[in-house]
Amino acid sequence: MSAEFFQIRARDKQTHARQGVLTTAHGQIETPVFMPVGTAGTVKAIPHQFLEELEADVILANTYHLYLRPGPETIHHQGGLHRFMSWDRAILTDSGGYQVYSHRALRKINEEGVEFQSYLDGSFHFFTPEKAIQLQQTFAADIIMMFDDCTPYPVTESEARESMRRSMRWARRGKEVHCDQESALFGIAQGSVFLDLRRESLDRLAEIDLPGLALGGFGVGEPKLLMYELVERLNDLMPEDKPRYLMGIGTPLDLFYCVRQGIDMFDCVLPTRNARNGMLFTSAGPIRIKNARYRDDGEPLDPGCACFVCQRYTRSYLRHLYISGEIVSSILNTYHNLYFYLDLMNRIRQSIALNSLVELEADFRERYAEFA
């Protein structure tokens, strides 16, 4: 990787927040960044031109899902994931570690790797750290992730230690086979909620030359305050000059909190999945559009929002589309929720440069009631 993969442009004087830029072969990514999740090589319910309109600089795709379908041969045949998808902005692929974890009834782990059964057809597959990197190099994503053993919660300290140390051995093996200079390979720190283990994990990753670091194994059921505390403490342990990616997180308030602690990258299914379930983010907090109170409500979803959904449609119509099970409901809801997230991150980035992140967050919290 070029020495200029990540540059910090501004630091907020009141917090640990940084504003930077990641430079990839498929464009620059301003950080802190929220990456929409495009599991199967498509962000669900959103055609690419809408993502471009939303100025999504990077999307996330899943190695596990793409490996099972359409399979690496098909993607290789089309010349990589960018060409397969016809998406020429940046792509981050995760390694499959998290998916293997979340389908854990179907897996067997040993030192060599993980045997798992396909959720599609029950067929058996074996992922190793080497194979996960090779697959991601075949997909030719811009940012790729180590294959890790995502530790479940709750877990004993000794189990978490064993799992974390396995991930660290796998990280060394992954690094060995990484040979694509176009892709930035990120390490993933594990260690569950145990600070000493997290520290050990970061120490081990520091021994490997990696352009970025991720915190994995959060958002798996641990108390939120525990995650917040760990993110705060881990911030001090992570190298200043490398991007920090908090995987799978989170709510709008999570983003504020973790940006303040120095996190640069986020991904989460919340805006997209909740959209399809009719849970829509607004500046006053999330709402459930199916609620009867919206039946005859001629107001926009979020009167302060500039997205085309809020500019054009009423809550009454959006409720009707949702209740009727219309595909257009998923499209409009997803667009709005992604707009909400990406616009929020844009305002967060601007506020860092202006040293006003704390004020932005206070202003946001004043109106925003997190969904009970």
Contact residues toward a second copy (CB under 8 A) are 40-49, 69-70, 73-74, 77-78, 84-86, 276, 295-296, 298, 308, 312-314, 316-317, 319-321, 323-324, 326-328, 330-332
**Catalytic annotation, pick one of 94, 148, 254, 264:** 94
Q: 70: cis peptide before it, omega within 30°?
A: yes
Q: At 23, which helix (H) or strand (E)?
A: strand 18-24
Nearer to a second copy, 201 or 333 (CB): 333
Q: Cα(372)–Cα(363) distance, rounded to whole angstroms? A: 20
Tokens of 202: 């970061």
3-state secondary structure of 268: coil
Q: Is 267 a catalytic residue?
A: yes
**Catalytic annotation, pick one of 57, 142, 149, 267:** 267
CB of 50 to a second copy, least distance (A): 9
3-state secondary structure of 246: strand
CB of 81 to a second copy, least distance (A): 10
CB of 83 to a second copy, least distance (A): 8
Nearer to a second copy, 122 or 325 (CB): 325
Q: Is 254 a catalytic residue?
A: no
How far, rounded to the nearest angstrom, does the alpha carbon of residue 323 sit from its chain's CA centroid?
29
- What is the rounded end-to-end Cα distance, in angstroms, of the chain? 44
Q: Cα(335)–Cα(227) distance, rounded to whole angstroms? A: 29
CB of 270 to a second copy, least distance (A): 17
Nearer to a second copy, 240 or 296 (CB): 296
Cross-strand bridge partners of residue 109: 114
Nearer to a second copy, 82 or 175 (CB): 82
| 224-237 helix and 195-206 helix, angle to the nearest 10 degrees | 40
Q: Which residues are designated catalytic? A: 94, 267
